[in-house]
């Protein structure tokens, strides 16, 4: 797969305070994003995710390091023709209607003017805003703003889309809609760079992730390589069995009513538990094997740092 974004040894620091004191934000970031993947850029608040994005988009200039988009400098106009960007908590010109807004952004790109109208209609339909085409942005809800922001990021039919916390502040339905759009972008062959701290979303849709902590990439690679598929614990919810019968088969937690949640750490003990339930004519309500999650990996990486 071709590399569409390459970041090498990126450093950035800012001077803050009345007596300027240098604060390192990025400390040697290196990563690669391959064509056609959804790349999750994960990190706690203040880790440097947005700063990395700003460097890539040319909004701030790195102290050191190299950034290439499609093999060209990130500051070149040819590279910018191929990218789209949705910032975190977007604010747009609220006196424009959705159509006027997209038309304005379309004029800033090399998009063919004769296709402008069709492109705007398609995008509004894609993000579910065709009913608000002539509504001023000041009357938009937070979720609608996020959707129109996504539409402006796609106005030039980019091959690489940068999304900074696109699911932040959305209700579950809104999050699902945006997630669906992101997956559709991948199906259309676009590459998505998704910066977020919402682990659940990243885990659901990303092919590869990089975990950023205090300006360092502490872990990166395909999700299935990073997260161990070995079962760490099996959670069994049972009823009709006395606590004393379970012995040392696992850790017991009381659940609703006479239900007991049993955490079994050794795989070989699961059969013994099930055997016991059969003998005592008890009941199994659920049996869930828990593998390592992205959250475990993330929390581990942050703690280690």
Partner 1 sequence: MKILAIALNTFKEAIRDRILYLLLFFASVCIIFSRLLALLTVGDRAKIITDVGLASLSLFGALMAIMIGTGLVYKEIDKRTLYTLLSKPIQRYQFLLGKYLGLLLTLFIMLALMTVIFLILILLHNYPVEGSFFIAILFIFMELCLITAVAMLFSCFSTPILSTLFSLAFYLIGHLSWGLETLVNKMPQGGVKTVARFFYLVIPDLENFNFKTEVVHHLPIPPKVFIYSSLYGLFYTVFILALAMIVFRRRDFI
Q: Which residues bind partner 1 (CB under 8 A)?
A: 14, 54, 57-61, 77, 80-81, 83-87, 89-93, 95-96, 104-105, 107-110, 149, 152-153, 156, 162
**Cβ proximity to partner 1, 167 vs 238, nearer residue:** 167
- As measured in angstroms, the least distance from the Cβ of 192 to partner 1 is 15
Bridge-based pairing of strands 191-196 and 160-164 is parallel
**Cβ proximity to partner 1, 43 vs 84, nearer residue:** 84
Measured N-to-C along each axis, helices 142-153 and 172-187 cross at an angle, to the nearest 10 degrees, of 10
Q: What count of other Cβ atoms lies within 10 Å of the Cβ of residue 93? A: 12
**Cβ proximity to partner 1, 92 vs 289, nearer residue:** 92
Give burial (CB, 10 Å; 0-12/13-18/19+) of 70. buried
252 three-class SS: strand
- Residue written as token pair 């006395």: 242
**Cβ proximity to partner 1, 107 vs 295, nearer residue:** 107
Q: Which residues, in sequence order, are bridge partners of residue 21?
A: 16
- As measured in angstroms, the least distance from the Cβ of 109 to partner 1 is 6
CA nearest neighbour of 39 among 78, 17, 6: 6
**Cβ proximity to partner 1, 138 vs 280, nearer residue:** 138
- As measured in angstroms, the least distance from the Cβ of 214 to partner 1 is 18
How many Å is the Cα radius of gyration of the chain?
24
User: Residue 77 half-sphere exposure, CB side, CA atoms within 13 Å?
Assistant: 3
Please answer whether residues 162 and 191 qualify as being in contact, where contact means their C-beta atoms are separated by less than 8 angstroms: no
**Cβ proximity to partner 1, 100 vs 296, nearer residue:** 100
- As measured in angstroms, the least distance from the Cβ of 240 to partner 1 is 59
For residues 132 and 129, give the distance between their C-alpha atoms in angstroms, rounded to a whole number: 5
- As measured in angstroms, the least distance from the Cβ of 119 to partner 1 is 14
- As measured in angstroms, the least distance from the Cβ of 111 to partner 1 is 10
180, 193, 199 from 6: Cα distances, Å: 26, 12, 24
**Cβ proximity to partner 1, 53 vs 181, nearer residue:** 53
- As measured in angstroms, the least distance from the Cβ of 45 to partner 1 is 16
């Amino acid at each position: 797969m071709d590399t569409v974004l390459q970041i090498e040894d990126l450093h950035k620091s800012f001077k803050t305070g009345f007596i300027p004191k240098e604060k390192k934000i990025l400390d040697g970031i290196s990563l690669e994003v391959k064509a056609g993947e959804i790349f999750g850029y994960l990190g706690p608040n203040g880790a440097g995710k947005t700063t990395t994005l700003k460097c890539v988009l040319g909004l701030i200039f790195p102290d050191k390091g190299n950034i290439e988009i499609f093999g060209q400098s990130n500051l070149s106009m040819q590279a910018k023709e191929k990218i789209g960007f949705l910032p975190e908590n977007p604010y747009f010109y609220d006196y424009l209607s959705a159509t006027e807004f997209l038309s304005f952004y379309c004029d800033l790109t090399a998009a063919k003017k004769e296709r402008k109208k069709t492109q705007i209609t398609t995008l509004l339909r894609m993000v579910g805003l065709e009913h608000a085409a002539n509504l001023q942005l000041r009357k938009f809800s937070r979720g609608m703003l996020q959707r129109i922001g996504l539409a402006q990021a796609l106005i030039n039919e980019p091959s690489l889309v940068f999304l900074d916390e696109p699911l932040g502040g959305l209700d579950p339905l809104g999050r699902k809609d945006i997630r669906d759009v992101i997956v559709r972008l991948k199906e259309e062959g676009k590459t998505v760079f998704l910066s977020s701290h919402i682990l659940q979303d990243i885990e659901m849709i990303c092919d590869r992730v990089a975990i950023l902590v205090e300006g360092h990439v502490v872990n990166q690679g395909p999700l299935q390589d990073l997260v161990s598929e070995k079962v760490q614990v099996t959670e069994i919810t049972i009823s009709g069995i006395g606590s004393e019968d379970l012995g040392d088969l696992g850790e017991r937690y009381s659940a609703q009513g006479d239900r007991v949640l049993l955490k079994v750490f050794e795989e070989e003990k699961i059969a013994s538990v099930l055997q016991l339930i059969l003998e005592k004519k008890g009941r199994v309500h659920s049996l869930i094997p828990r593998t390592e999650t992205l959250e475990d990996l993330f929390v581990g990486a942050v703690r280690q740092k």
